[in-house]
Structure formats: structure tokens, C-alpha cells
Amino acid sequence: MDWDDLRVFLAIYRTGSTSAAARVLHVQHTTVGRRLNSLELALGTSLFTRTPTGLVPTADADAILPDAEAAERSMRAVERTMGGAKKLEGVVRLTTSEAFSGYFVRRLPKLRAEHPQLMVEVLSGNRVFDLARGEADLGVRIAPTEDPNITGRRIGRAGWALYASEGYIERRGPLRSADAFAGHEVIGFDESLSRVPGALWLAQHAAAAQVPMRGNSINAVVNAAVAGFGIAAVPCFLGGAEPTLQRMLPDLIGDREVWVVFHPDAGRIARVRRVIDFVTDEVTADRDFLMGGPAPAV
């Protein structure tokens, strides 16, 4: 039995199709089909039932899943320990939120200048990648991890404040106080972001304001503010980085902790450790900016 066959099996099991598994594994669709056929031949059984909506695991597939995942964990541990453990070159996968991705991308050229053979792959979005399974090497999150197998370290805090464009302020005037939203417009958040500090604060203070649009992305809310749609309640590192936006009130409306998380085995690999240190150093150096201070030169 070939480990690559098991790797393909797990990808198909998790995605539900050979084409999706091929994208996850960065291989050709035909390679996935060939590997699956090889594994089914070796085991003497069918692992998936072909249906119009995708591949459905059989009872035999469910039976071997725990052992296949155990094999995956063992192989990941070997790869973390031996794969380029002492070299500052190769790929390091950093997962973070869509909002934070731009912050780090703008700073990565400094790391690139120091280590030109090191490539950081930024995986942005709201999906939580499984670090224990090796879906990413490290993550920057706004909450501590609850996985006992993952190491987490708080590296800072990110404040939230109110911002609006110069054009909006000319049209609607300044915001006089936290409860003076009559006659103003705010950019709302959809249900998926209803628990972020900006959404919670607006729900308590901005009932008198009109809501011309909502966004399911913090970056979209910032872009709407730049376009003049209204007042945005967003992280300071996003609002403060936009030269056309002005802070509406001096006080913060909330904040979130910033954590770097990684598997202990990944933390022993030199290239991953270097990116962990880089992320930590950048957030530490920008502590004032993240909490609403002036934007630093990048």
C-alpha cells in the first residue's frame, strides 16, 4: 500500500469528489482517479459509491477512516521533523482572516529580502484550517485555540473604531457623540459577522442611523466607507491605513486579542519558526497602530 493512495482517499472523503480532491492536493484529476483505483484494488473493495452529486463513502471507507487519519498524523509528524527542518527555504503556509491578510502581505517583502528562498503562502478567509492535520503551518487568529494539540501565544490586541470618508463627512457632517447617529448612515454587517466588535457596538448605539448597505466581509465594509456609503465600524489597522478615511470619534469601540497558533512539531522547523517570529515581531512593533495610533511606514 502506498501512502499517497491513502492521502488521496482522505482528500476524496473530505471533499466528496475527485475533482475537488485534485485541487486540494494540487495534482491532476486523472492522478486522483488512478490512486483511488490502486487503493481499492489493493484492499479488494469499493470505497466510494458514484452518485450524481458526488462520491459517497461506503461502509468500508468509514471503517478505514480512523486508521487512515492516524497514518496521516504520523506522516505529518515525520515531514515536520525532517522536511527542511534546518533550512530557511521552502513554503510556509500562513492562515489568517481576510481582514488581517492585507496587513501581513504588505509586510512580507521585509521577510523576503532577508530570506529570498522562503515563500509564504497566505491562506485568507473565515475557514479555520486544521493545523494538526497539516492544512497550514501557522495561523494568526483573534481568539485562542481550543485544540489541546495546538500551541497558542497571544501577541497583541487589535482595536476597533469608527471611520468615514472625507466626502461623507462633507455631506453628512461629523459625528458629535457615540449616540448622535440621527441623520447619519452606517455600513452594516450581515449575520455571519454579527458578533464582531463593530457589529455589536452599532447594534447598541446606532439604531437611529440609516443602513444603506451591509457586508459579509470586513474588507468590503472598509471599501464601502472609502466609497462614501457611510460610517464604518472596523479594525483600526484597516481604517487607519486608508488615507481617505477619517476617525469619527477618539475612543475605541472595542478590541480583539491577536494570537499566533501552530503545531509544536511545525514550530521546530526553522522556516516555520522564522515566520512565527516575524509575525510576532511585526504585531509587537505595531502595537500602537493596531490600537488606533498613527499608521507606521511599511
- According to the model, what pLDDT value does residue 212 have? 96
Residue type (1 letter), 97? S
| Per-residue pLDDT at 256 exceeds 60 | yes
What confidence tens digit (pLDDT) does each residue in 34-50 have?
999 999 999 999 999 98
Residue environment code for 59-88, b if the CB has 16+ CB neighbours within 10 A, otherwise e: eebeebbeebeebbeeebeeebeeebeeeb
| Per-residue pLDDT at 298 exceeds 80 | no
| More reliable by pLDDT, 128 or 21 | 21
In the 8-state DSSP scheme, what is residue 135?
A: S
What confidence tens digit (pLDDT) does each residue in 271-280 have?
999 999 999 9
Name the CA radius of gyration of the chain, rounded.
23
Give the confidence band of 103 by pLDDT, cuts at 50, 70, 90: very high
Instruction: Name residue 186's beta-bridge partners.
Output: 231
| Per-residue pLDDT at 282 exceeds 70 | yes
What confidence tens digit (pLDDT) does each residue in 166-214 have?
999 999 999 999 999 999 999 999 998 999 999 999 999 999 999 999 9
Residue type (1 letter), 69? E
Does residue 219 contact residue 233 with C-beta atoms inside 8 Å?
no
Give the confidence band of 82 by pLDDT, cuts at 50, 70, 90: low
Does residue 172 contact residue 210 with C-beta atoms inside 8 Å?
no
Q: What is the mean pLDDT of the chain?
A: 91
DSSP of 187-217: EEE-GGGTTSHHHHHHHHH-TTSEEEEEESS
- According to the model, what pLDDT value does residue 79 have? 66
Give the confidence band of 29 by pLDDT, cuts at 50, 70, 90: confident
Residue environment code for 202-235, b if the CB has 16+ CB neighbours within 10 A, otherwise e: beebbeebeeeebbebbbbbbbbbbebbbbbbbb
| More reliable by pLDDT, 163 or 80 | 163
- According to the model, what pLDDT value does residue 86 have? 60
Cα–Cα distance, 84 to 289 (Å, whole number): 35
Set out the domains of the chain in order of their start, with CATH numbers. 3-82 (1.10.10.10), 87-298 (3.40.190.290)
| Per-residue pLDDT at 84 exceeds 60 | no
What confidence tens digit (pLDDT) does each residue in 115-158 have?
999 999 999 987 788 898 888 999 999 888 888 889 999 999 99
Give the confidence band of 24 by pLDDT, cuts at 50, 70, 90: confident
In the 8-state DSSP scheme, what is residue 250?
A: S
What H or E segment, with its residue span, contains residue 102?
helix 98-105
| Per-residue pLDDT at 85 exceeds 80 | no
- According to the model, what pLDDT value does residue 126 have? 73
| Per-residue pLDDT at 295 exceeds 90 | no
- According to the model, what pLDDT value does residue 127 have? 78
Instruction: Name residue 152's beta-bridge partners.
Output: 261
- Region 78-101 average pLDDT: 79
